[in-house]
Structure 1
Amino acid sequence: MLDALVVSPHPDDAELGVGGTIVRLGKQGWKVGILDLTSGEPTPLGSPERRRAETAAANERLGGPWRENLGLPNRSLQADLASRRALAAVFRRVRPRLIFSPYWEDAHPDHTAATKLVEDARFWSKLSKSDIPGQPFHPSRILYYFSVHLRIAERPSLVLDVTDELEAKVAALNCYRSQLVDNQPAGRPGVIDSVCDRTRYWGHMVGVGHAEPFASREPVGLSRLDSLLL
């Protein structure tokens, strides 16, 4: 049983968009998991074996959360009925109260397909009289994280302080050498630099060192205000 589940189109998307939050929630006693939808392969410098090793190393840097791969096709991810059923079955099995999903606007077709798939599977997960394995379950909320291939300014509904978790996030990102290190242009800022610039920006906006932004399609309800950062 998980408190929160990060659904990641490819290995490394969870670390890019939610890495600090995963570590922070783990410190706070949350049971957090990551579900990679695809292997992420093929890529120019990767292989299935290398990606599995990189993912295992990165997951260790995040504190060892529960993690599985759904085995859906990279580059051809679709929100079809079979994929929806498979993802809904995972939701029923691990029963997360909160789901972190990719942001709904992106240039990468796998990412937008993943968003649609998460939303559809969340609905199917609660259905009775279905052939989906497990007991009906409806995750309470979806928060959308930013790991996008589109040059847009994020429009978050909330941001979470990850100042103390940035070191672990960067360590996890550096484990993906085939995707985020070895393929970066020499002498120029790379993907990891850009990620840190964005977390620094959102941290500045709320008066902390680094923060990760999240969007919500629905109102965010609070029971107390004393943890708001001003």
Structure 2
Amino acid sequence: MIAEQPLHILAFGAHPDDVEIGMGGTIAKHTASGYRVGIIDLTEAEMSSNGTVELRKQEAERANVALNVTVRDNLRLPDRGLRVEQEHIDAVVRAIRYHRPRIVFMPYWEDRHPDHIQCSRIVQEAVFNAKLRRYMPEMPAHQVEQVYFYFINDSVSPQLVLDISDVYEQKRQSLLAYESQFTKPNGSDDLVATPLNQGYVERVEARDALLGQGRGMAYAEGFMLKGPYQVSLFK
């Protein structure tokens, strides 16, 4: 079974909020232009120090509204248990074949969080396997046209940069939707201090502003590729 309408873009993250951190502005910019964009979270972030699975689901729904995504799903793979193994790869293959995206985004292959690295490796394997017609033949094979990598915690000089200045408020609102993750403990609540609630959103905004600064943009998001980027003309 496949979706009635294919997606233009499908973005994968290990946890709800990963995609918003790395490319929330890119999603908002494309949905505003009429593109069908989906997000797939591999885990429910059940190992997070703050919040609950149910609360994180509600926060993701609010982020979806801010970014106007077409569809969002969660594969419910184990948080802190992601592995490059067939069960996890096949779950992503099914998502790719079901939604038939033209473009797939995933976390950059180097990051201080092991789950982000594992997510990147799993999705890379799945993108390759999804095009093999004898692999999981119960679903039609699908060839993704292009793969891009977004940054979460750690970054290098990007190969591609997108101006997201005009939609930055939408990205900001998608991040602020995750109150359980980014709200600083005040001593009277059940939150504990983590790197995420010690000014993390402000650091993401500063990173996006710094990336745009040298290019005459208020805010930008950067991306990497592993293969050549094809153009028809240099302009």
TM-score, normalised relative to structure 2: 0.89
Per-residue Cα deviation, 1:66-122 (whole angstroms, up to 9, x for no partner): 100011000111111111111111111101111111000012111111111011001
Aligned length: 221
Aligned residue for 2:209, secondary structure, equals: helix
- 2:39 counterpart residue number: 34
What is the one-letter code of the residue matched to 2:222?
A: P
Please give the alpha-carbon distance, in whole angstroms, between the structure 1 residues aligned to 2:171 and 2:33.
16
Please give the alpha-carbon distance, in whole angstroms, between the structure 2 residues aligned to 1:60 and 1:90.
21
Q: What is the aligned counterpart of 2:146 among 122, 141, 163?
A: 141
Asked whether 1:77 is paired with 2:79, we answer no
- 1:64 counterpart residue number: 69
Per-residue Cα deviation, 1:154-182 (whole angstroms, up to 9, x for no partner): 22111000001110000110010111124
Contact map agreement 1:89 1:133 (CA 8 A) in 2: no
What is the one-letter code of the residue matched to 2:169?
A: E
Deviation at 1:224, TM superposition (A): 4.2
Asked whether 1:107 is paired with 2:112, we answer yes
Contact map agreement 1:88 1:132 (CA 8 A) in 2: no
- 1:43 counterpart residue number: 48
Asked whether 1:176 is paired with 2:185, we answer no
Aligned residue for 2:124, secondary structure, equals: helix
Taking the TM superposition and a 5 Å limit, the aligned residue runs for 1:94-133 are 94-133=99-138
Asked whether 1:52 is paired with 2:54, we answer no
Deviation at 1:225, TM superposition (A): 4.6
Contact map agreement 1:92 1:133 (CA 8 A) in 2: no
Asked whether 1:220 is paired with 2:229, we answer yes
Contact map agreement 2:39 2:69 (CA 8 A) in 1: no
- 1:161 counterpart residue number: 163
Aligned residue for 1:78, secondary structure, equals: coil
Q: 1:133 to 1:209 in 2, by over 3 A?
A: farther
What is the one-letter code of the residue matched to 2:140?
A: Q
- Give ranges in structure 1 of 5+ residues lacking alignment: none
Please give the alpha-carbon distance, in whole angstroms, between the structure 2 residues aligned to 1:116 and 1:131.
19
Per-residue Cα deviation, 1:199-230 (whole angstroms, up to 9, x for no partner): 1111112211110000111111223455xxxx
- Give ranges in structure 2 of 5+ residues lacking alignment: 1-5, 186-192
Please give the alpha-carbon distance, in whole angstroms, between the structure 2 residues aligned to 1:53 and 1:4.
23
- 2:215 counterpart residue number: 206
TM-score, normalised relative to structure 1: 0.91
Q: 1:192 to 1:138 in 2, by over 3 A?
A: same
Deviation at 1:65, TM superposition (A): 2.7
Deviation at 1:132, TM superposition (A): 4.9
- 2:30 counterpart residue number: 25
Please give the alpha-carbon distance, in whole angstroms, between the structure 2 residues aligned to 1:38 and 1:220.
30
Contact map agreement 1:54 1:176 (CA 8 A) in 2: yes
Q: What is the aligned counterpart of 2:7 among 2, 5, 9?
A: 2
